[in-house]
Amino acid sequence: MFLCLVVNYTRGECIDTSDCFLIQNVSIESGLVNNSEIKIFPNPTNPFVTIDALNFLDVAVYDATGRLIIKSKSNIIDLERQPKGLYFIKVFTEGIIEEFKLIKD
């Protein structure tokens, strides 16, 4: 599912509208996140998550506020020291960057 994001900027009586930017909506599916060739599991996880991706380069993990908490070249991420909650994982492979949602129980 894609959304079109348009921003309106108003200053005084002048209004300017941005171009349309497509945003991909990411959702959590049973066990796997997304139907791509990149898989993360288990989801929900506690405390380790494995990333299965061809040509894996590295991964970045963000908390629910968007703060970078882990940057790693390993395809196994340890969230043991992180609190339960929602995390966002950005997986970098050759030619593909994909974002996923992950829940830590």
Query: Tens digit of pLDDT for each residue in 61-97?
Result: 999 999 999 999 999 999 999 999 999 999 999 988 9
Q: Does domain 28-104 have CATH number 2.60.40.3080?
A: yes
**What is the reported pLDDT for 87?**
96
- Please indicate, yes or no, whether the overall pTM of this predicted structure exceeds 0.75: no
**What is the reported pLDDT for 1?**
47
> Tokens 């061809």 map to which residue?
54
pLDDT, tens digit (0-9, with 9 covering 90-100), for 1-58? 455 556 676 777 777 777 766 555 445 444 444 456 899 999 999 899 999 999 999 9
**Angle, alpha carbons 60-33-7 (nearest 5°):** 70
**What is the reported pLDDT for 90?**
97
